[in-house]
Amino acid sequence: ITRCYEAEQSWLPALLRILSYFRSVCEFKNRKLSRKHIKHRKFEDMKYTSTRGEGNVDFAGVLFSGFAPDGGLFMPQDIPRLDRDTLLKWRIFSYTDLVKEICSIFIPSELIPREDLNDLIDKAFSRFRHSDVVHLCRLKNGLNVLEMWHGVTHAFKDLAMCCVGQLLQYFLKKQDKRVTVLVGTSGDTGSSAIESVRGEKNIDIVVLLPRGRCTQIQELQMTTVIEDNVHVFAVEGTSDDLDVVIKKLFADAEFVRKHNLMSLNSVNWARIMVQIAHFFYVYYQCAPTMETDDPVPIVEVVVPTGGAGNITGCTVWNNGISLSNSLLPKEKK
């Protein structure tokens, strides 16, 4: 059940995006894709298709994409269903270990061997200030707060973005390829994306921010990075206006291919993949037990959100853990 609190007219664009996202996911699931049980890891033949039905793409193809050519979002053709043994095994894992396990399910070892994948994720989280990367702060009456702001830019997006940056570098070095990353931002996405690829020789990043609509610290985080591969522009309009233009741009397959264009916005499946770990980690930290044969306990997760960028827990729903997900729109900037 998704609930939206304190919705006002000013939140209409964001709410419309939320509804559009869920519509795409529901349409995708209604095609009755198979759900396979796994005991440990690996879907060696994992492929991805658009929520609108087109495509048969491997992980590397999805990583270097934005929107699918038909305007949909790339999702796995098969979402593995974890068995109870795997869920019990994961219960003692650290956040970093959970990210590794989840990524290993969606990235075949033929593309990235498990040892290399582990090294990439360890390197991605090496700049975080907290030794556990994320930290669960336990308050009164069963209320807990997951601290996800220990990354370089103090935004939760650092968690997925730093991993995506490492994955990009891995493939680009192997392929001797150069790409241009296009990012539209309302504030925190831009700075997080910049930090994930700054100084890299085979990546140019172009960030578009809405003039006068970001906080001062967010704007400074983007405009004070002095690197040859970082290009930041202020544009007129809102971040929603930017989304429309960027989506149209990625629909031009010839232009995208000619300029090796890709996106690091939340339309990129690789970011969603890493964010799945947030919800598993929270569940394991908050659920009283999974050792009995009783139905697994429910953990309610309240997600502060503007454009629904961190509600990807829907990917793990009905996957052996029980989450009740709520949305809490953030305050207007």
**Residues catalogued as catalytic:** 157
In the numeric block, which tokens belong to residue 244? Answer: 């429309």
- HSE-CB at 180 with a 13 A cutoff on CA atoms is 13
Distance CA 297, CA 323 (A): 9
Distance CA 157, CA 227 (A): 21
* C-alpha torsion sign, points 126, 127, 131, 134: negative
Distance CA 127, CA 219 (A): 21
